[in-house]
């Protein structure tokens, strides 16, 4: 097959016109607005694509794959400019628009360049969950793993954040639940709410007892 022309398209693509009918999906390619195979401009330049160049099926598949990888890498950079994320999250985002191999390639490149670092991301998440959102390390680890952080790494990082669960629970009671300790039904709802934050029932009972003792001393 011979290239007849390269048509400039939006989004840094060239629509490649051949001297025979080419179905983009047969090569795993993206079709441009007119149905031509869309190839990233950087890849067109690197492979010296031009009118009159002959390609076989293997050449075209290689070029299409390289184009997907190049475009996925550019999209990955754009995503990371918007917000930080885990490697797994980045791959999931990229897979919405690119083949899995290209998504993994782009994520690997971002990791290699230091633009994503799951440990660094996990440390920031853990600090936010434990010290700002006031959840227990156990719950923080669960939330971190839901964002694509390896479960063992999430647990390790969350447990490294310095915190006193009993004191945190007392602060939460004073701020949110001080009027919900008077009867058994309200008390049970308070305990359940604190448990949903990942605190153990042992720490919750201790904190409530200490809080009530401090209130009694204050009121005497």
Each residue's pLDDT tens digit, 105-120 = 999 999 999 999 999 9
Supply the pLDDT for residue 215. 66
Measured distance CA(118)–CA(116) in Å, rounded? 6
- How many domains, the chain? 3
Asked whether residue 22 falls in the same domain as residue 94, the answer is yes
Asked whether residue 125 falls in the same domain as residue 37, the answer is no
**Burial label, 53 (beta-carbon count in 10 A; 0-12, 13-18, 19+):** middle
Could you give the maximum distance between any two Cα atoms of the chain, in Å? Answer: 95
Asked whether residue 203 falls in the same domain as residue 137, the answer is no
pLDDT tens column, 149-196? 999 999 999 999 999 999 999 999 999 888 888 788 889 999 999 999
Find out whether 194 and 172 touch, Cβ atoms under 8 Å: yes
Asked whether residue 135 falls in the same domain as residue 206, the answer is no
Above 70 in pLDDT, residue 220?
A: no
Asked whether residue 154 falls in the same domain as residue 89, the answer is no
Helix 184-196 and helix 201-219, axial crossing angle in degrees, nearest 10: 130
Measured distance CA(203)–CA(137) in Å, rounded? 13
Asked whether residue 105 falls in the same domain as residue 26, the answer is yes
Q: Which has more pLDDT, 29 or 215?
A: 29
Find out whether 14 and 41 touch, Cβ atoms under 8 Å: yes
- Residue 149 Rama label (left phi>0; alpha psi -120 to 50; beta): beta
Measured distance CA(137)–CA(162) in Å, rounded? 9
What is the domain extent for residue 179? 165-219
pTM of the entire predicted model: 0.83
Asked whether residue 155 falls in the same domain as residue 169, the answer is no
Asked whether residue 107 falls in the same domain as residue 15, the answer is yes
Above 90 in pLDDT, residue 102?
A: yes
Supply the pLDDT for residue 32. 80
pLDDT tens column, 121-146? 999 999 999 999 999 999 999 999 99
Asked whether residue 76 falls in the same domain as residue 148, the answer is no
Measured distance CA(113)–CA(178) in Å, rounded? 49
Strand order in the sheet with 30-31: 3-9, 13-18, 37-40, 30-31
Asked whether residue 130 falls in the same domain as residue 172, the answer is no
Asked whether residue 82 falls in the same domain as residue 134, the answer is no
**Burial label, 115 (beta-carbon count in 10 A; 0-12, 13-18, 19+):** middle
The CA-to-CA distance between both ends of the chain, in Å, stands at 93
CATH code (residue 84): 1.10.10.10
């Amino acid at each position: 097959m011979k290239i007849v022309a390269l048509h400039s398209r939006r989004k840094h693509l060239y629509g490649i016109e051949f001297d025979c009918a080419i179905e983009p999906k047969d090569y795993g390619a993206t079709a441009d607005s007119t149905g031509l195979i869309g190839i990233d401009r950087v890849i067109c330049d690197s492979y010296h694509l031009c009118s009159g160049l002959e390609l076989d099926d293997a050449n075209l598949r290689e070029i299409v794959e390289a184009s997907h990888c190049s475009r996925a890498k550019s999209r990955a950079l754009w995503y990371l400019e918007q917000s930080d994320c885990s490697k797994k999250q980045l791959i999931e985002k990229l897979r919405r628009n690119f083949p899995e191999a290209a998504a993994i390639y782009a994520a690997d490149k971002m990791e290699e360049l230091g633009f994503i670092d799951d440990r660094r991301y996990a440390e920031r998440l853990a600090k936010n969950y434990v010290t700002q959102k006031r959840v227990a390390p156990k719950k923080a680890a669960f939330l971190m793993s839901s964002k694509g952080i390896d479960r063992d790494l999430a647990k390790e990082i969350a447990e490294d954040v310095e915190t006193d669960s009993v004191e945190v629970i007392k602060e939460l009671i004073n701020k949110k639940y001080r009027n919900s300790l008077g009867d058994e039904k309200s008390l049970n709802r308070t305990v359940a709410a604190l448990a949903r934050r990942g605190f153990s029932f042992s720490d919750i009972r201790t904190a409530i007892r200490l809080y009530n003792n401090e209130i009694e001393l204050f009121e005497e």
